């Protein structure tokens, strides 16, 4: 076929010619058309985007329209998003109802800032008004100070962050909403309380009452566990006694809004998880949880949490708090009042039965399962899946490791396999039996080398290399800030351990002492004559650490010492009037007077007894009565910033009360333990000798003003110690502070009554009287080099010096 415009050429040739003719205009027009299409579509897209509602994926669960057209945003967006958005909206758009796209949720909730802001008054206008208040109390107990920090942190962080939502709400309509409910009650700022010093009756027999009307309380308890006796034991005992006291309602704390417990423990040291009590990881916190469930009638807001102090306990506390906050918010909304945990009498029996039949074992919920178990707890009246009973304690393991090792219950005060035992032996103590200790003092070593004895030689004639320092009770009822016990010794108000016989303790202590003396034989400078003498103990200082008077057979122990012609100094902490009253003869009887008034004593001695001041005063009365039978001494340990300033008059009043024969005043020895550091003690609290002397003069003047006949008798500047003595010991124009030891034993052997002035020794050495320094010229004085020169031996001695009350 031939085409009209083919000019007789073949078809291919003609088509090619045609393409060459039209190609340029054609390609240009195609490109222009494409450009026009792209630009139009982009402009459309931009225009349509500016009209779209917010992305459902971000705001969907929390948003819905308000009648006034504003949008109640979830709290975490409130600060930044809400203000920006409201600023953007024109008045016209404000009047128009806003269309919100997304899945409809079951309940619309917008938490009022009042429920999260801690002060209702600080809530912005338009916030849901608070009808009542909830007071959160954060209680803690602490032996070495760390739990105090966790408790403070908990109180500080509570509600400080946006609400935590465990899982994002799935896009279905029939599940409960995790977002916070409107608050009906406002949270007042949390109050932190130390259980160790609280009058427990005021908080745990009846709930703490506040003056504020319509206020209910929530108790959060942060509890460490101790295998040894600790203040937690006293708290547990109080809870148990309250529950069993027939005069008190068995659920006296039922009007609390709720409680929850967080335990702190050391999983590496105490890996056992089953059961409760000391020796088990967080075992005592579990006990507290159980008692609180009983006393409140099951008002457990959230299951017990646990933190391993060696494995991110702060992180565990944070997780626990975040979950707890959800339930606290719900509590504030009035929707959930721990009702699934409410106990009836059958439940209580179950718990009691569980104690005996199940060996106290509790199911653990893994941290990953918290969301699920919580959801179940909140939404159904059934117990959570992994738990045996919602009414029993539900332990949540916020730590990651696990172990099945069991630790046996402790019956002895310091068992051989305990950390206390290890810690004490590392510090150089020899543990005798299960509750006694002996340690060679740095002054004993010094005397063996001819470098001087301690103040006891200057004041009373005791040679340090003939002195044994020991205690029949490593436990004490104080937690003095300057104590050397490194915070690991048992503390208790009563003796509740097995008791070793006195002869065994004495023999063990002497063996331990001689063993340590033997180890000195190779030490350069040890004098042969003194080394030989040292194997005949002539004096026993019952001080060291702990409370010797605590030992039930202390009188027999003293008798044994005296029958071996070993004199005795006994230092007690003025907290055990009954034992003090029962005490028979001591060569010299001391009470530690660490402060002149109640508040100062509480701060410095941190006593466990709630009636510590009454006990203290009673002991002074007893001492006053005993002054006719034996030499009595007040031991003052001066701590700068704690008990020196403005206290001379107060101390003078105490001297007037007890009329001791002597007042020994010494500067504190800085031990630098974490406990003392935790209590705010540093080298700056150690007074210089001049400061001690200045205080002594003030005290002496104050005594004079009261008409009390005392004088400054002797000094031992080397150990920062000064002696004030009753004028009874100023005989024939000279001080007679030295003891006639042989006479003391003879008097004892007569079996007749005698008094302290019957065994007064020779005059105080001239070099020891006040103003002469107190260093025996027969000894070699050694000064240390370097920056410590000029400070007292006590300051530079570090861990080698005598104990806080020794
Ligand atoms: C002597 C001693 C005994 C302890 N016994 C236990 C125990 O039985 N179970 C446990 O979980 N933790 C035990 N711990 C670890 C403490 O509970 C943990 O260190 C806690 O943080 C101490 O709190 P605090 O510093 O406030 O006293 C023990 C610690 C010490 C020093
Ligand atoms: S210094 Fe003495 S009284 Fe004070 S806690 Fe230590 S052992 Fe007890």
Which ligand 1 atom lies nearest to the CA of residue 419?
A: 1
Ligand nearest to the CA of 616: 2
Q: Which residues contact 544 (CB under 8 A, 6 or more apart)?
A: 437, 438, 439, 469, 470, 471, 803, 806
Residue carrying the six token digits 């010229």: 777
Residue carrying the six token digits 């408790």: 151
3-state secondary structure of 186: strand
Q: What is the pLDDT of residues 747-783, one digit of tens each?
A: 999 999 999 999 999 999 999 999 988 887 777 666 5
Q: Which two tokens stand for residue 765?
A: 């050495």
Q: Which residues contact 67 (CB under 8 A, 6 or more apart)?
A: none
3-state secondary structure of 626: helix
Residues 567, 540: contact at Cβ < 8 Å?
Answer: yes
Q: Which residues contact 416 (CB under 8 A, 6 or more apart)?
A: 431
Q: Is 480 in the pocket of ligand 2 (CB under 6 A)?
A: yes
What's the confidence (pLDDT) of residue 132?
82
Percent share of the chain, pLDDT over 90: 41
Q: Is 227 in the pocket of ligand 1 (CB under 6 A)?
A: yes
763 alpha carbon – ligand 2 mean position (Å): 32
591 alpha carbon – ligand 2 mean position (Å): 11
* ipTM of the modeled complex: 0.86
Q: What is the 3-state secondary structure (H, E, C) of 259-314?
A: EEEEEEECCCCCCCCCCCCCCCCCHHHHHHHHHHHHHHCCCECCCEEEEECCCCHH
Ligand 1 mutation pick, 224, 273, 280, 420, max ligand atoms within 8 A of CB: 224
Bridge partner residues of 186 (DSSP):
133
Bridge partner residues of 216 (DSSP):
134
What's the confidence (pLDDT) of residue 460?
96
- Angle among Cα 51, 56, 61 to the nearest 5 degrees reads 135
What's the confidence (pLDDT) of residue 40?
65
Residues in the chain: 806
Residues 762, 736: contact at Cβ < 8 Å?
Answer: yes
Q: Is 486 in the pocket of ligand 2 (CB under 6 A)?
A: no
Ligand 2 mutation pick, 439, 478, 479, 576, max ligand atoms within 8 A of CB: 478
Q: What is the pLDDT of residues 424-462, one digit of tens each?
A: 888 888 999 999 999 998 889 989 988 888 899 999 999
Of 631, 689, 681, the residue nearest 665 (C-alpha): 689
Q: What Cα–Cα distance (Å) separates residue 75 from each residue in 83, 600, 762?
A: 12, 46, 82
What's the confidence (pLDDT) of residue 641?
83
Q: Is 473 in the pocket of ligand 2 (CB under 6 A)?
A: no
Q: Which two tokens stand for residue 275?
A: 């059961």
Question: Which residues, given as ranges, of the chain have pLDDT below 50?
Answer: 1-6, 45-130, 166, 169-170, 172-178, 336-408, 785-806
Domains of the chain: 4-48 (no CATH), 130-166+179-397 (3.40.50.360), 419-800 (3.20.20.70)
Q: Is 573 in the pocket of ligand 2 (CB under 6 A)?
A: yes
What's the confidence (pLDDT) of residue 750?
96
What's the confidence (pLDDT) of residue 172?
43
CA 82/CA 102 separation, integer angstroms: 19
What's the confidence (pLDDT) of residue 296?
92
What's the confidence (pLDDT) of residue 58?
26
Question: What does the DSSP assignment read for 35-63?
Answer: HHHHHHHHHHHHHHHTTPPPPHHHHTTT-
Half-sphere exposure of 430 (CA within 13 A, CB side): 21
Tell how far CA 223 is from the center of its chain: 8
Classify residue 395 by burial, with Cβ atoms within 10 Å: 0-12, 13-18, 19+: buried
> Which residue has the CA at smallest separation from atom 18 of ligand 1?
265
Give the number of other CB atoms < 10 A from CB of residue 515: 12
CA 447/CA 449 separation, integer angstroms: 5
CA 476/CA 494 separation, integer angstroms: 9
Q: What Cα–Cα distance (Å) separates residue 590 from each residue in 57, 543, 586, 609, 789?
A: 75, 9, 10, 20, 32
Q: Is 561 in the pocket of ligand 2 (CB under 6 A)?
A: no
- b vs e for 398-426, b when ≥16 Cβ sit within 10 Å of the residue's Cβ? bbeeeeeeebeebeebbbeebebbebbee
Q: Is 144 in the pocket of ligand 1 (CB under 6 A)?
A: yes
Tell how far CA 39 is from the center of its chain: 70
Tell how far CA 235 is from the center of its chain: 14
Segment holding 439, helix H or strand E? strand 436-439
Q: Which two tokens stand for residue 200?
A: 């427990």
Q: Is 489 in the pocket of ligand 1 (CB under 6 A)?
A: no
Segment holding 458, helix H or strand E? helix 455-460
Q: Is 74 in the pocket of ligand 1 (CB under 6 A)?
A: no
Residue carrying the six token digits 């001297």: 655
The DSSP output letter for 400 is S
- Angle among Cα 136, 184, 176 to the nearest 5 degrees reads 100
Q: What is the pLDDT of residues 258-314, one digit of tens each?
A: 999 999 999 999 999 888 888 999 999 999 999 999 999 889 988 899 999 999 999
CA 788/CA 264 separation, integer angstroms: 40
CA 198/CA 206 separation, integer angstroms: 14
> Which residue has the CA at smallest separation from atom 6 of ligand 1?
226
Q: What Cα–Cα distance (Å) separates residue 315 from each residue in 309, 367, 764, 795?
A: 10, 12, 62, 39
What's the confidence (pLDDT) of residue 76?
33
495 alpha carbon – ligand 2 mean position (Å): 16
Q: Is 273 in the pocket of ligand 1 (CB under 6 A)?
A: no
What's the confidence (pLDDT) of residue 546?
82
Note if the pTM is more than 0.90: no
Classify residue 443 by burial, with Cβ atoms within 10 Å: 0-12, 13-18, 19+: buried
Q: Is 580 in the pocket of ligand 1 (CB under 6 A)?
A: no
What's the confidence (pLDDT) of residue 32?
79
Ligand nearest to the CA of 471: 2
Ligand 2 mutation pick, 474, 475, 480, 673, max ligand atoms within 8 A of CB: 480
Q: Is 265 in the pocket of ligand 1 (CB under 6 A)?
A: yes
Q: What Cα–Cα distance (Å) separates residue 559 from each residue in 129, 566, 748?
A: 73, 10, 10
């Amino acid at each position: 076929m031939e085409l009209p415009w083919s000019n007789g050429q073949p078809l291919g040739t003609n088509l090619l010619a045609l393409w060459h003719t039209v190609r340029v205009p054609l390609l240009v027009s195609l490109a222009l058309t494409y450009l026009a299409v792209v630009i139009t579509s982009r402009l459309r897209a931009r225009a349509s985007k500016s009209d779209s509602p917010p992305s459902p994926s971000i705001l969907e669960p929390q948003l819905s329209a308000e009648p006034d057209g504003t949008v109640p945003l979830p709290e975490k967006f409130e600060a930044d998003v809400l203000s920006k958005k409201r600023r953007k909206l024109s008045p016209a758009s404000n009047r128009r109802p806003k269309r919100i796209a997304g899945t409809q949720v079951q309940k619309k909730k917008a938490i009022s800032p009042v429920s999260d802001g801690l002060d209702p008054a600080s809530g912005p206008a338009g916030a849901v008004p608070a009808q009542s208040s909830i007071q959160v109390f954060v209680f803690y107990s602490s032996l070495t100070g760390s739990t105090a920090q966790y408790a403070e942190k908990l109180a500080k962080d509570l509600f400080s962050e946006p609400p935590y939502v465990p899982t994002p709400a799935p896009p279905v309509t029939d599940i409960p909403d995790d977002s916070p409910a409107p608050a009906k009650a406002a949270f007042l700022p949390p109050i932190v309380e130390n259980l160790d010093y609280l009058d427990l009756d005021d908080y745990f027999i009846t709930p703490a009452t506040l003056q504020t009307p319509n206020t209910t309380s929530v108790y959060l308890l942060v509890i460490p566990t101790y295998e040894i006796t600790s203040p937690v034991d006293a708290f547990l005992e109080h809870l148990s006694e309250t529950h069993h006291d027939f005069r008190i309602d068995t659920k006296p704390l039922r009007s609390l809004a709720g409680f929850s417990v967080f335990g702190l423990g050391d999983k590496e040291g105490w890996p056992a998880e089953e059961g409760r009590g000391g020796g088990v990881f967080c075992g005592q916190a579990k006990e507290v949880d159980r008692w609180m469930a009983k006393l409140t009638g099951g008002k457990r807001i959230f299951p017990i949490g646990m933190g391993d102090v060696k494995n991110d306990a702060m992180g565990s506390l944070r997780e626990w708090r975040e979950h707890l906050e959800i339930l606290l918010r719900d509590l504030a909304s009035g929707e959930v009042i721990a009702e699934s945990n409410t106990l009836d009498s059958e439940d209580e029996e179950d718990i009691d039965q569980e104690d005996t039949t199940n060996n106290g074992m509790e199911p653990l919920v893994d941290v990953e399962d918290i969301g699920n178990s919580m959801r179940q707890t909140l939404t159904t009246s059934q117990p959570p899946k992994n738990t045996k009973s919602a009414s029993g304690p539900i332990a949540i393991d916020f730590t990651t490791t696990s172990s099945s090792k069991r630790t046996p219950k402790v019956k002895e005060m310091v068992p051989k396999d305990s950390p206390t035992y290890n810690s004490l032996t590392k510090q150089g103590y020899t543990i005798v039996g299960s509750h006694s200790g002996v340690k060679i003092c740095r002054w004993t070593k010094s005397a063996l080398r001819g470098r001087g004895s301690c103040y006891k030689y200057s004041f009373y004639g005791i040679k340090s290399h003939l002195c044994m320092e020991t205690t029949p009770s490593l436990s004490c009822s104080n937690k003095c800030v300057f104590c050397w016990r490194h915070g690991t010794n048992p503390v208790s108000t009563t003796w509740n351990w097995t008791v070793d016989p006195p002869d065994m303790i004495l023999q063990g202590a002497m063996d331990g002492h001689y063993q340590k003396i033997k180890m000195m034989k190779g030490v350069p400078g040890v004098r042969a004559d003194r080394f030989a003498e040292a194997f005949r103990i002539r004096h026993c200082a019952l001080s060291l650490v702990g409370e010797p008077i605590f030992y039930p057979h202390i009188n027999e122990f003293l008798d044994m010492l005296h029958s071996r012609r070993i004199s005795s100094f006994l230092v007690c902490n003025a907290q055990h009037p009954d034992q003090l009253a029962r005490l028979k003869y001591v060569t010299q009887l001391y009470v530690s007077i660490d402060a002149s008034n109640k508040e100062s004593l509480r701060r410095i001695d941190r006593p466990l007894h709630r009636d510590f001041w009454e006990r203290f005063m009673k002991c002074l009365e007893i001492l006053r009565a005993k002054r006719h039978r034996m030499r009595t001494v007040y031991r003052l340990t001066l701590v700068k910033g704690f008990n020196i300033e403005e206290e001379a008059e107060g101390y003078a009043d105490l001297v007037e009360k007890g009329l001791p024969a002597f007042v020994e005043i010494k500067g504190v020895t800085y031990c630098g333990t974490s406990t003392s550091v935790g209590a705010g003690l540093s080298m700056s609290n150690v007074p210089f000798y001049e400061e001690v002397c200045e205080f002594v003069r003030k005290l002496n003047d104050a005594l004079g003003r009261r008409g009390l006949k005392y004088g400054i008798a002797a000094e031992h500047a080397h150990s920062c110690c000064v002696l004030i003595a009753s004028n009874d010991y100023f005989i024939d124009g000279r001080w007679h502070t030295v003891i006639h030891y042989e006479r003391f034993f003879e008097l004892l052997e007569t079996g007749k009554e005698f008094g302290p002035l019957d065994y007064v020794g020779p005059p105080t050495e001239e070099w020891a009287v006040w103003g002469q320094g107190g260093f025996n010229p027969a000894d070699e004085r050694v000064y240390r080099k370097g920056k410590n020169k000029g400070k007292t031996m006590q300051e530079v001695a570090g861990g080698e010096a005598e104990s806080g009350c020794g």
